[in-house]
Structure 1
């Protein structure tokens, strides 16, 4: 059982790292529609429960999973390309923020270092945040620097990593790389940073990197949320906003703006 927000009552973050899809931007429905369109484009039907299994998964892995579950492994590359193309069209037509996301980000902006750690392509994250008027609030955006490929199973314990130097691969969630890198770029230890996430894949990534985790949105069906320190239905609930108003200003601690731009793939 996930503890309520008071589990974070005696702790204040020195930086906050946000997921993008489903946390800041209301794009999960776009991904779901894009998956449906990609399946239909190749005359396939989405397997039962696929939407929940695909939530938070890197789009390259998602395309591969679509092909595998449709028993068409030879279509993995085509489905991946179609998925991304449909998603980009949908998000350009209708960029919307999640409830309370804009207010929460603006409340923290200038007080704490803020970053985004996403499995989405950099151009998708930047375009979405820019169209929503939020891009300027984030000092860093961290995305995977290479397609995920075949990966080993996640380690069972949090494993902080120092990835993210130029030329060093940053693996997608549920690997810890994007969150560990974001904390480092913000100039804080992972244990001093708060991750804000809506998916079990993202929660696993942040937990493994050593961050505290605030889950937001509907609780995943049948999912194990024990790695989230707390879970709330939306960022605009008064308990969250009230707690954030009391967090000390730390934006000047050990962090400079990244003049080279966000870490990208």
Structure 2
């Protein structure tokens, strides 16, 4: 564990805001397969390294990126629609949580407000968390909404709104993220950021205050245990 990791885990936030895909739920694999199917449906092949570029993007931004990557900008709308259709078909099965997600959420639940800030459609986030038995632990779920002018990551909106709904100043909340787009969104909203999962290549990961391999890292679970006693169940 690095010095910056220790610094973050020596801190007691007033709220924790989780990303969903790839952080709480193992649904990033469904997005990867959905992208592959959407490309194949149009007779296209993704360029090398595309999966890394698309990680954490809102599906509409991803559809546009897919079209740009194959030099067919006129297909952006069709690729976006195909991407979402394939993802929804893949994600309807039993949800799989990321290692340590259930234990960590249950440890934190009731000790401080918890929220989810995701680029996924609300129906996907709510359905996945409910089937995993986690939905009731969160005070609020925030997703991009054009009607409410909440823009997707890497804009800061979903994290800024989540902190506000938790009733805390953004700089007193901690974001938990697996993607650089999400890390950037949380940083721009003034949250401190814990990155989890495989550390991204390059220096982008240094934008997070700390980076751990998974949510079941012993030091993270020890930190959660030390935050204090539960305050009772929280209502959505």
TM-score category by the smaller chain?
over 0.9
Alpha-carbon distance in 2 for matches of 1:31, 1:106: 26
Alpha-carbon distance in 2 for matches of 1:3, 1:91: 38
Consecutive unaligned residues in structure 2, runs of 5 or more? none
Residues 53-81 of structure 1, C-alpha deviation per residue, up to 9 Å, x if partnerless? 00001100100110111111111111101
Residues 124-169 of structure 1, C-alpha deviation per residue, up to 9 Å, x if partnerless? 11111111111111110000102xxxxxxxxxxxxxxxxxxxx531
Asked if 1:247 is matched to 2:227, the reply is yes
Which is helix-richer, 1 or 2?
2
Consecutive unaligned residues in structure 1, runs of 5 or more? 147-166, 259-265
Q: How many residues align?
A: 234
Alpha-carbon distance in 2 for matches of 1:209, 1:76: 29
Instruction: Name the stretch that deviates more: 222-231 or 170-179.
Output: 222-231
The structure 2 residue matched to 1:237, chosen from 217, 224, 228, is 217
Matches within 5 A, 1:1-265: 3-146=3-146, 168-248=148-228
Alpha-carbon distance in 2 for matches of 1:194, 1:247: 13
Cα distance, 1:257 vs. partner?
5.2
- Shift in CA distance, 88/143, structure 1 to aligned 2, threshold 3 Å: same
SS in 2 for 1:93: coil
Alpha-carbon distance in 1 for matches of 2:128, 2:218: 26
Is the contact made by 2:18 and 2:115 (CA closer than 8 Å) also made in structure 1?
yes
Q: TM-score, normalised by structure 1?
A: 0.84
Q: TM-score, normalised by structure 2?
A: 0.94
- Shift in CA distance, 3/26, structure 1 to aligned 2, threshold 3 Å: farther
